Every structure is written in structure tokens, then in C-alpha cells.
Amino acid sequence: MDKQVSVPNGVQMAPGVSIVEALHLVPALEPFKGDATELEEQLERAVIDSDEAYGRGSDYLSICDQRIRQLEDFRKAVKGPVDDYAKFIQSLFLPIQERYKRAKFAMSDRMLAYQKAAQARREEAERKVREAQEKAALELAESEAAAGHTASADAILDAATAAPARRAPAKVMGSNTFGRSTHVAETWVGRVAEPMAVLKAIIDGKIPVTVIEWRQAELNGIARGVKVEGVYNGIRVEKQEGLRQR
């Protein structure tokens, strides 16, 4: 099933694009650096103590704005093609990545559906076994009671009606050929359902004030603390299941 895909020979993986071309910008920027140094020296000497000095200060501001615009135009002229190149690279890689992701999620959904169906079949089989055992236990209890063994009959009834211990979902398989195991993981997600109820709960001290920022991590933390689906203090708590590998 698996077929290794490797990067073709000659394709550079790291550390990225060459900076040789960018180094040609260094001498082109020297005039700007010298001009900036001159303006900084003027700033050190400047004293605004008269209308004439105030006017020179105004000219100074205009010169700074002019240099900033000139340098920004230069930066955009140089960086624009690089941005376009980066967008082109993204357009080559991202669509293929999305295909991998869609395939992965689709397979994950099918595996999760199988896992749930298998779990449901196991629970149904266990339910039928319990029903048969309870029926046999009740018949035995009735027999013991008829024989006058009341204590024995009560003990049998208690054992027969005791709730079965909760079991963790059974694993479908162990490690795969890559040495990784796949398991069902549940995630508790919180969503704001009733904003005013949430605010009241914050004021009443029922939930932390940090929730007021509506950050998903904070809402999920509330949901993990509840772990029962429903709406609590204005926050809707939902359980999501998915497959994970480790």
C-alpha cells in the first residue's frame, strides 16, 4: 500500500533561497544610511527656540517623510517579485497538501465509523449475555426463595442487578507497519451559546474571568471540566471524537 515519495535530485530542500542576489542591495542602501546618519546628527544639534527654528523643524519632518516614502517604494519594488515568487511556490505545494489532508480525513472518518460500529456490536452482544445471565439468576433466586433460602435469593438478586463495570473501548488493532498505533480520542469543545448567561456566571464567580475573551482554549477548558454534553452557564459543551496516531 505504501510507496515512498522522495524529493527529486537537484531540488534544494534547505536552508532556503540564496541571499546572494539580496546582497547586491547593500551598496544601494548606503546613500540612505548616510542620509539617515546626517539627519540623526542634525537632530542632536537641533534646538527649537524660535519661530524660525520651528519652521526648520517643519522642513525636517517633511524631509523625513520624503525619505521614508522613498525607502518604502524601494523596498516594495525589491520585495514585490519575491512575494510573487513565494505565492507561486505556495500555489504549487498547497493544493497537493490539501489532497493529502482530504484523503487522510476521509479515511479517518471511515475508520472511526467502523470503530463505533464494532463497539456497538460488542455492547449489543454483552447486553444479550447479561440479559440471559439475569434471567437465569432470577430463576435461580425464585428457586432459592421457594426453598426458604431467603438470604441466598437476595444475594443472587443483588449480584444479578448490579450495574456492569464501565469498559474502555477495545482496540481494533495494535501498531501498524510504521510502528504507530491508531486510537479513538475524544475532545470536549465549548462554544458560547448564551453570552449574557456567560457574563452572569463570570460575575457570580462560577467560571474564570478569562473566559470573557471568548478564546477557544478557555472555552474548551470549561468543557473538559464538565464532560457532559449540554449548556452550562451559557456555554454549550460538546464531545467530538476522532482518530489519532502515536
- For residue 234, what are the contacts with CB-CB under 8 A and spacing of at least 6? 192, 193, 194, 195, 196, 197, 198, 199, 200, 201
Q: In this predicted structure, what is the pLDDT of residue 7?
A: 47
Per-residue pLDDT of 68-84, as tens digits, reads 999 999 999 988 888 99
* Statement: residue 58 has pLDDT above 90: yes
Q: Tell me: pLDDT of 141 over 50.
A: yes
Q: Domain spans of the chain? A: 20-81, 182-245
CB 243 within 8 A of CB 183: yes
pTM: 0.56
Tens digits of per-residue pLDDT, 83-113? 998 899 999 999 999 999 999 889 888 988 8
User: Above pLDDT 70, what percent of the chain?
Assistant: 85
Pick from 191, 203, 201: nearest CA to 231: 191
CA distance 41 to 217: 50
Using the predicted structure, report yes or no on whether residue 165 has a pLDDT greater than 70: no
